[in-house]
Amino acid sequence: MRHIDEVMTKEQREQFANRVEVLEKVKSLLMVPQLCMATTEQVANYFDVPVKTITTVFQRNRDELISNGAIIMTPAEISGMKIQNESSIGSRGCMLYSIGDAVFSVNYKGSRFYPPRAILCMAMLLRDSKVAEEIRTQLLNLVEATPAELKVANVQAQEDAMLGFARAMMNGDPDAIAQSVHEMIALKDHTIAAQAASIRQLSDEKADLENRNHDLADQNSSLSMSNQMLAESAVTWEPRRVTNAIVRKIGKAIYNGKFSLAWNELYRELMYQTGISVGQRGAEKKNDSALSTIKDEEWPQVMKVLASLAYHYCIDVVDVTNEKVVEAYQLDRIETPQGIKYNAGICRTTHIAPPTVASVPALRLAQ
């Protein structure tokens, strides 16, 4: 087992940037529920160091930590995410929040939050922390020896163990025989464990490659869609195409590609907000799609619900469709209990990541 008490090199930090699972193996990590990020105070508590230490490390490595997801969030941005079971109260200079078991404060000008990847990067940069030191040790143990090195070492150890056993047998020493047998069993167990670790590492590398290929495929798909949208930037789409484009975007961004969940949510919101039971109509007319049962006079109501869904999930309607479509169906104008909200450009101005499926509250924007 390797042990290290010095910070890691830039190359090592890049090599281990995705191994966030090590954080929980070393110590339980408390983050803000639904945000999936930790405040500066939570990061300091995790590493058992003063808050000033975390701030100092950030200032010295600002670009690298920001590239790993460290961001500033304001109370307005947090409130805009419509977090479930969130309560807050204003205080001098900050807003106090309670989300699940997490209680934290956010400066009105903004406070810094760290996702797991940035916390792992902090662990590889932070000195004078036993927790950070143990994380670095665990990371290095993942690549303690290559399979070839393990094979050479094991062959030599097996030869030594067998030689010791033969000598013990020749001398008729029961204690030495028992000790030799114990060493050979331990060597066998170590070899099996090392091989299992190597297999797990190869499996993780394979999964990483598959994820990268998936990301590249998504990027190619997005580029193709963007090119098509550029060619159609002056065209007003028909309502069914607009609905399909926005729902599929929600399904991809929120439900990990499970589009049926996104469609079901649209049908629920239509029923709740307008009384239009599209799902029931589709079931009654088995040969027709659910959208084909919507009447011409009902489409304006459907567009309002669709715009509310897009706003709720921070889906930029201009990026998904085009400016002509947004203007024609007023997709950027959302009626809420707090007044009129505007959706166009929302993602480019707030830079807030969409919530995960587990954190999605019931949507009740347009009444």
| pLDDT value, residue 54 | 95
Residue 347: pLDDT band by 50, 70, 90 thresholds? very low
Res. 63: pLDDT tops 90: yes
Percent of the chain surpassing pLDDT 90: 18
For residues 50-54, give the mean pLDDT.
95
pLDDT at 355 over 50: no
Q: State mean pLDDT over 263-273.
A: 88
Q: What is the pLDDT of residue 6?
A: 73
How would you classify the pairing of strands 111-114 and 38-39?
Answer: antiparallel
List the Cα angle 97/102/108 in 5-degree steps: 30
Average confidence score pLDDT of the chain: 77
Helix axes 147-171, 174-231, angle to 10 degrees: 170
- At 6, list the tokens: 């010095």
The Cα angle at residue 349 between residues 347 and 350, in degrees rounded to 5: 70
- Please say whether the beta carbons of 119 and 23 come within 8 A: yes
pLDDT at 196: 64
Crossing angle for the helix pair 299-312 and 239-254, nearest 10 degrees? 20
Confidence check: pLDDT of 34 > 80:
no
Distance, in Å, from the CA atom of 39 to the CA atom of 330, rounded to the nearest integer, reads: 38
Please give the pLDDT value at position 77. Answer: 87
- In this structure, of 127-136, 304-313, 337-346, the range with the lowest mean pLDDT score is 337-346
Residue 176 reports pLDDT greater than 90: no
Residues of the chain with pLDDT > 70, as a percent, come to 74
Most confidently modeled range among 72-76, 165-169, 174-178, 209-213: 72-76
Q: What is the pLDDT of residues 284-329, one digit of tens each?
A: 655 457 788 888 888 888 888 888 888 888 888 887 888 788 888 8
Q: What integer is the mean pLDDT of 102-128?
A: 91
**Domain ranges within the chain, ordered by starting residue:** 10-141, 147-212, 234-359
